[in-house]
Structure 1
Amino acid sequence: MNDGLLPAEILDRLKARHAEPQRHYHTWAHIEALLAWLEKTAGWIHDRSAVELAILYHDAIYDPRARDNEARSAALLLSELDGLLPKAMLASAETLILATAGHSMPGTADHLLRSDSAFFLDMDLSILGTEPATFESYEAAIRREYAFVPPEDYRAGRSAILRDFLERDRLYFTDYFHNRLDRQARSNLARSIARLQQA
């Protein structure tokens, strides 16, 4: 992480948000995992600070019952950091965060920002391509976050989400993540969908 990018008090508030009781996967451990990917892919990232901000803030607001977490997280980034960091950096981070709503590329003509978006979105979905045990722990944590959803409704909704990813021609936008994670991710997704349908 870039030393001094955020004041300590702001970073502490972000960590406190990620310790909220409704979170089981979307915790600070998720943020740390993405920061580790940022270190590994630093050579391909054009605006490292903007990507780091997006990582730190993309789940800052997380209410499993809400549909606007991404927009509210981006708004929090702007409200907390306006005047502290360059507006262009904040605007790029905002674009990255908003792209996580549908995990699709933003409609910007800025090819460098599109490249950073591809890496950031792939980092966020890297969990799908982990070894089976880690993926199963992830799926169990997501279920706990949606414990308020009745079993039948959860199975239908979760199956639809996972199937949407599985049916994409390209699950990961970058060759870096595609070559490393695609095969395992598709295996994990197919296995989880089958289990949900059999439950």
Structure 2
Amino acid sequence: MPTENFMDILFSNWQHTLQLLGVDQLAAEKAFNQLVAAYSTPGRYYHTLKHIDRVLSTIQILQGYTNNLAAVQLAAWFHDVVYDTEAQDNEERSADYAFELLSNLGIPESIIITVTRLILNTKDHQAAVNDYDSQVLLDADLAILAANSVEYEEYAHAICQEYGWLPEKDYITGRQKVLERFLQRSHIYFTPLMLEFAEPSARGNIQAEIQSLLSD
């Protein structure tokens, strides 16, 4: 269960972004509570508020690459708001959720359109060469891949738990395919900072997880 201090920090981050867009505190708090409820649904082990916090922290580090920091931060909040491992349309539903909630908060339409586009780009984790906002969001979303070995193992285990409904053999096959797709890419990360400092660790972690899956 998230600690009170953790929730205070998260709410402060949320409120700060919305204040810059002219949203009053009461409306911001109500929307925050909706997000907390969504990210606290049963069956989530990795795609929780802890993940959102990590994504936001990484965006903070990479913010110099963004064109629209507020849109990237909002996309981070919403990109996994709908998460069902048995569904294929989580990103589309998350984008719809963001569109509705942000519209109700009176966020400018141009920002909402950017937010939904960014969320949809997390489906395939691909970004155009000049789409710096998507690049930052995607790099932040995948920052966990470059974590230290203990954190990475916790992440891998949590993902496995989220697919607990799948027979183990099917999970191993599917997970291996996902991981190998990342290794086959010319680069996992887009921003120069992540490419230089996180890429080698991420590739090492992924290779180690594949070996672990195959030896189980």
TM over 0.5, shorter chain: yes
Task: Report the counterpart of residue 146 of structure 1 in structure 2.
Answer: 163
Instruction: Note the residue ranges of structure 2 that are not aligned, 5 or more in a row.
Output: 1-12
Percent sequence identity is 34
Task: Report the counterpart of residue 79 of structure 2 in structure 1.
Answer: 58
Q: Structure 1: which amino acid aligns with 2:124?
A: G
Query: In 2, Cα distance between the equivalents of 1:12 and 1:177?
Result: 32
Q: Secondary structure of the residue that 2:198 maps to in structure 1?
A: helix
CA RMSD in angstroms comes to: 1.4
User: Is residue 98 of structure 2 the alignment partner of residue 85 of structure 1?
Assistant: no
Task: Output one character per residue of 1:123-145: Cα deviation in whole Å (capped at 9) or x when no partner.
Answer: 00000001111000000000000
Task: Report the counterpart of residue 4 of structure 2 in structure 1.
Answer: none
Relative to the length of structure 1, the TM-score reads 0.93
User: 1:44: Cα distance to partner?
Assistant: 2.1
Instruction: Note the residue ranges of structure 1 that are not aligned, 5 or more in a row.
Output: none
User: 1:40: Cα distance to partner?
Assistant: 1.5
Query: In 1, Cα distance between the equivalents of 2:85 and 2:54?
Result: 21
User: 1:174: Cα distance to partner?
Assistant: 1.3
Relative to the length of structure 2, the TM-score reads 0.86
Task: Report the counterpart of residue 132 of structure 2 in structure 1.
Answer: 115
Is the 2:139–2:190 Cα contact (8 Å) retained in structure 1?
A: yes
Question: Size of the alignment, in residue pairs?
Answer: 194
Query: In 2, Cα distance between the equivalents of 1:157 and 1:3?
Result: 39
Q: Structure 1: which amino acid aligns with 2:121?
A: A
User: 1:4: Cα distance to partner?
Assistant: 5.5
Task: Report the counterpart of residue 7 of structure 2 in structure 1.
Answer: none
User: Is residue 209 of structure 2 the alignment partner of residue 192 of structure 1?
Assistant: yes
Q: Secondary structure of the residue that 2:42 maps to in structure 1?
A: coil
Matches within 5 A, 1:1-199: 1=13, 3=16, 5=18, 7-82=28-103, 84-105=106-127, 111=130, 114-199=131-216
User: 1:23: Cα distance to partner?
Assistant: 0.3
The structure with the greater share of residues assigned to helix is 2
